[in-house]
Amino acid sequence: MSSFPDFCDVFFQKYFALRPTEAIQYGIDGYDHLLKDYSDERYHEEKAFFKESLKRLRDISVKGLTKDETVDYALFEGRLTIENYQFNKEDYRLKWP
């Protein structure tokens, strides 16, 4: 089990690798030359990433987190829950080709 800050560091490294255009929007260096990959392989990798991330986040205890970290944890859990719901609901690539 990792700490919440460690989880966040690992999560965002992978997240921005999967969604480089979002990294560009947030002003993170090193992604300006990349576009999002919409291939089947990348889609399934992204879906598995969000499923595993939610599981790993829920393995982290909220005890000992600061008030700010507790809020961030709740927001993170909500966002990952929504991402998983959307992946299980439909393939977004078919809705917005």
pLDDT tens by residue, 74-84: 999 999 999 99
Query: Would you kindly state where each structural domain of the chain is located, as residue ranges?
Result: 4-95
Beta strands in the chain (DSSP E): none
Q: For residue range 56-76, list pLDDT tens digits in order.
A: 999 999 999 999 999 999 999
Residue 96 has pLDDT above 80, yes or no: no
Predicted local confidence at residue 2, as pLDDT: 81
pLDDT of 7-58, one tens digit each? 999 999 999 999 999 999 999 999 999 998 989 999 999 999 999 999 999 9
pLDDT at 97 (0 to 100): 57
| pLDDT top residue among 84 and 94 | 84
CB atoms closer than 10 angstroms to residue 62: 12
Q: Sign of the C-alpha dihedral, residues 49, 76, 9, 3?
A: negative
pLDDT classification of 94: cutoffs 50, 70, 90 = confident
